[in-house]
Amino acid sequence: MTITRRAAIAGLAALPAVPILSAGARAQATFPSKPLTLIIPFPAGGPADTFGRPLAKGMGERLGQAVVVDNKSGAAGVTGIDVVAKAATDPHMLGLMSASAGAIMQSLMPKMPYDPGKDIVPVTLVVRVQEVLVVSSKLGIDDFKGFVAYAKANPGKLTYGSAGTGGITHLATELLKREAGIDLLHVPYRGAAPATNDLIAGTVNCALLDVPVLLPHIRSGAVKALAVSSDTRAKLLPDVPTMAELGLPKVNSDNWYALVAPGEAPAAARQKIHEAAVDTLRSKEVIDAYAAVGGVAVGDSPAEVTAYLKSEVAKWAAVIKAANVKLE
């Protein structure tokens, strides 16, 4: 018995040491172990869906597992991102977070269903979507200078449509009102589509909405583009000046979407997600697909997107306070 025991001990000692892997190392070795889910917190067919599906396809090809899109809309994008937050440690659950859910609702909702600073973690900024100020062609205004002059001569008489109270299209116009010193009457809608329909009909006079939403109607002449609220001119609207060119540099209201993961997802898995996402966003296929609908693909670092989100929260909190915006 003693000899057998000694022999066994000796045999075990001769075996090579097996390292004990940390949770992060195990995630690096095994992730992804199953298909991933990308929560798009808006209905299928909308702008978020248009940007999210090419991202999901490209990431799936690079990760070797399908990335399945799941549309979960509600509460200006908060409902879908809450699903990601509740996934806790599972890096297979991702979300495409909008400016509303990521920077605006924190200052408007009495209580967020999750802690934005702990329960989700930004991976990369996916896309910036430029916005453009337009007026109904029925109004007879041809340029931004004429628009401001008309608004000042008729305070509170011009109406503007938005995609909903507290959304970026609402707050961007409130920012414009403050910087330009004009008074416009807000008419909120349940989405950009009905706002655009009433704009074309002349029921509302103007709107500041995403370029992809308004582009067909600008091209048809149903609405007149006056200014882009971004750092640079929109490639699809090269003749339309920026707000900065018109003397209003603070009126910068790019809409955006960021890729986020659960707050406790292993760092090693998040690194793989980041690499796959950035490689996708820097591909010619995705850059061209986004550009065709007025989007600018980004693909930055986690540190950069985190800093950007913090600056957006502060900017829109100030606008909300100054305009005394309340959720309806």
Task: Please give the pLDDT value at position 29.
Answer: 61
Report the DSSP pairing between strands 36-40 and 67-71.
parallel
Parallel, antiparallel or unpaired: strands 223-228 and 67-71:
unpaired
Quote the longest CA-to-CA distance of the chain.
104
Domain contains 118? yes
- Strand 120-129 with 255-262, pairing: antiparallel
Is 182 within the bounds of a domain?
yes
Amino acid at site 42: F
- Is the Cα torsion angle 95, 108, 210, 304 positive or negative in sign? negative
The residue written with tokens 């967020």 in the block is: 112
CATH code at 82? 3.40.190.150
Q: Are residues 169 and 207 part of one domain?
A: yes
**pLDDT score of 327:** 81
The DSSP annotation for 179-221 comes to: HHT---EEEE-SSHHHHHHHHHHTSS-EEEEEHHHHHHHHHHT
Whether residue 99 is found in the same domain as residue 164: no
In terms of Cβ atoms closer than 10 Å to its own Cβ (0-12, 13-18, 19+), residue 136 is buried
Looking at the structure of the chain, the number of domains it has is: 2
Q: Compute the average pLDDT of residues 239-247.
A: 96
Is the pLDDT at 59 greater than 90? The verdict is: yes
- What local confidence, expressed as pLDDT, does residue 39 receive? 97
Q: Does one domain contain both 43 and 119?
A: yes
Return phi, psi of residue 165, to 5°: -60, 130
Element (H, E) at 71: strand 67-71
Over the stretch 188-232, which tens digit does the pLDDT of each residue have?
Answer: 988 888 999 999 999 999 999 999 889 999 999 999 999 999 989
Quick check: is 17 in a domain? Answer: no
Q: What pLDDT sits at residue 198?
A: 95
Query: Domain containing 224: what range?
Result: 131-228
pLDDT tens digits, 256-299: 999 999 999 999 999 999 999 999 999 999 999 999 988 999 99
Same domain, 99 and 166: no
User: Would 243 be classed as within a structural domain?
Assistant: no
Cβ contact 137:222 at 8 Å: yes
Note the pLDDT tens digit of each residue in 24-52: 445 446 899 999 999 999 888 888 899 99
Residues 203, 125: contact at Cβ < 8 Å?
no
Cα gap 96→122, rounded to integer Å: 10
Full-model pTM: 0.83
Radius of gyration of the chain (CA): 24
Determine the residue type at 90. D
Final residue belonging to a domain, choices 210, 228, 246: 228
* Neighbouring-strand partners of residue 95: 39, 260
Helix (H) or strand (E) holding 47: helix 47-63
Structure tokens at 299: 């693909």
- Gap between the Cα atoms of 307 and 301, Å rounded: 10
Is residue 122, in this structure, part of any structural domain at all?
A: yes
Cβ-defined contacts of 110-115 (< 8 Å, 24+): 112/78, 113/78, 113/82, 113/85, 114/81, 114/82, 114/85, 114/86, 115/85, 115/263
116 and 186 belong to one structural domain: no
pLDDT surpasses 80 at 9: no
SS3 for 149? helix
Residues 222 and 277 placed together within one structural domain of the fold: no
Task: Quote the distance between the C-alpha of residue 266 and its chain's center.
Answer: 23
Question: Is residue 319 included in any domain, yes or no?
Answer: yes
Domain with 223 in it: what CATH number?
3.40.190.10
Rounded to whole angstroms, the Cα distance separating 141 from 215 reads 18
